[in-house]
């Protein structure tokens, strides 16, 4: 073989090696087979309240079921500026998908729109932000969540009762819709019931404790606590737990947290609506995987709203115990 032919053969082999190296670059491989790894950011509203913390843990567990997906969690600390900054950082860092749990839907709206504009998959969850073209959503119906409680409260709360109301953050889709459901499904049907205290406690147990202390001081009778989530209901119940005059107080919440199921099971709390962080997390991760792999272009879905009372609370206590959420 002359020198020109040897050079030509050498160049051909070199080109083949470079080509093969290029085919194996990008993504991760296992046993020689190439697989894409998708990077997903979950911007959590906060990890300080019980439901939000539960959702974070379930999101991590659900993501572990998908070997081609990694999940990073960012804590918004119930602060719009921190939530928005986390979204901006996730966009800058080039995540393949960003799941946002809004602190205040309207405050996060332009930032979620920026996710879509950047060509990144966007999902809003707990609560969804309506009307963002190109964004998907995974949520529960907050009106129904409150309605299932209001439907039984109609017969449970006595005539001419005095009640207190604990609200979530103003402008939050879940907070506003749950309060609207109580108005339509209960207060309009029970005009005899008097609201003697109503405040925004922002889903926060400590805030609920503070307001309930004031209401107990100002009112000799309170027949029911109507709360837009379990965390606030649990806080209000702490205030009255050693008060024999309020030992029969009724209390309603939403989320179906481990704490709430224990309180219901022991007869301290009346009812809650399950907003399963397990189902919500599994739906979010399944949805983002379908969007990333191109199985779907856009998805909007709600999980079920299940009423928990003294009749079925033990089943949920058992479930949480098995998952290590109740000792």
Instruction: Tell me: do 262 and 281 sit in the same domain.
Output: no
Instruction: Tell me: do 224 and 294 sit in the same domain.
Output: no
| Domain assignment of residue 21, yes or no | no
| Domain assignment of residue 319, yes or no | no
The two tokens of residue 222 are 């309170």
pLDDT value at residue 61: 95
pLDDT value at residue 295: 97
Residue 76 and residue 125: Cα distance in Å, rounded? 14
Residue 134 and residue 120: Cα distance in Å, rounded? 10
Instruction: Tell me: do 253 and 202 sit in the same domain.
Output: yes
Instruction: Tell me: do 247 and 270 sit in the same domain.
Output: yes
3-state secondary structure of 165: strand
Q: How many domains is the chain partitioned into structurally?
A: 2
Instruction: Tell me: do 240 and 285 sit in the same domain.
Output: no
Instruction: Tell me: do 125 and 235 sit in the same domain.
Output: no
| Domain assignment of residue 24, yes or no | no
**Helix orientation angle between 230-240 and 258-265, rounded to the nearest 10 degrees:** 40
Instruction: Tell me: do 168 and 228 sit in the same domain.
Output: yes
**Structural domain range at position 131:** 38-138+277-303
| Domain assignment of residue 116, yes or no | yes
Q: pLDDT under 70 in the chain at which residues?
A: 1-35
Instruction: Tell me: do 154 and 248 sit in the same domain.
Output: yes
| Domain assignment of residue 204, yes or no | yes
Q: Which residue has the tokens 């080109």?
A: 15
Instruction: Tell me: do 254 and 291 sit in the same domain.
Output: no
| Domain assignment of residue 2, yes or no | no
| Domain assignment of residue 11, yes or no | no
Q: The domain that contains 179 carries what CATH number?
A: 3.40.50.2300
In the beta sheet, which residues pair with residue 30?
33
pLDDT value at residue 209: 98
Entry pTM: 0.79
Instruction: Tell me: do 102 and 157 sit in the same domain.
Output: no
Residue 200 and residue 10: Cα distance in Å, rounded? 76
Instruction: Give the list of residues 6+ apart from residue 91 with CB closer than 8 angstroms, or none.
Output: 98, 114, 115, 118, 120
Residue 293 and residue 285: Cα distance in Å, rounded? 12
Instruction: Tell me: do 126 and 183 sit in the same domain.
Output: no
Instruction: Tell me: do 157 and 211 sit in the same domain.
Output: yes
């Amino acid at each position: 073989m002359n020198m020109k032919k040897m050079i030509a053969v050498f160049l051909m082999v070199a080109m083949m090696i470079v080509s093969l190296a290029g085919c194996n670059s990008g993504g991760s491989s296992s046993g020689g087979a190439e697989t894409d790894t998708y990077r997903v950011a979950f911007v959590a509203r906060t990890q300080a309240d019980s439901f939000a913390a539960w959702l974070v843990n379930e999101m991590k567990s659900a993501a572990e079921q998908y070997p081609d997906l990694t999940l990073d969690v960012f804590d918004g600390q119930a602060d719009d500026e921190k939530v928005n900054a986390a979204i901006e950082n996730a966009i800058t860092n080039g995540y393949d998908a960003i799941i946002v749990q809004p602190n205040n839907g309207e405050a996060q709206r332009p930032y979620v729109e920026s996710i879509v504009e950047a060509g990144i998959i966007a999902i809003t969850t707990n609560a969804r932000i309506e009307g963002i073209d190109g964004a998907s959503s995974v949520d529960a119906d907050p009106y129904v969540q409150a309605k299932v409680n209001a439907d039984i409260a109609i017969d449970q709360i006595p005539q001419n009762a005095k009640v207190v109301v604990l609200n979530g953050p103003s402008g939050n889709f879940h907070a506003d819709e749950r309060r609207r459901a109580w108005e339509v499904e209960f207060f309009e049907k029970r005009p005899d019931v008097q609201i003697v205290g109503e405040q925004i406690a922002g889903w926060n147990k400590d805030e609920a404790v503070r307001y309930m202390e004031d209401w107990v001081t100002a009112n000799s009778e309170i027949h029911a606590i109507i709360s837009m989530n379990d965390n606030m209901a649990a806080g209000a119940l702490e205030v009255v737990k050693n008060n024999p005059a309020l030992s029969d107080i009724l209390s309603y919440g939403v989320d179906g947290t481990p704490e709430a199921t224990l309180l219901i099971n022991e007869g301290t709390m009346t009812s809650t609506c399950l907003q399963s962080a397990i189902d919500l997390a599994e739906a979010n991760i399944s949805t983002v995987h379908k969007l990333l792999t191109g199985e779907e272009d856009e998805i909007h879905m709600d999980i079920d709203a299940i009423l928990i009372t003294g009749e079925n609370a033990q089943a949920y206590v058992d479930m949480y115990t098995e998952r290590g959420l109740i000792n």
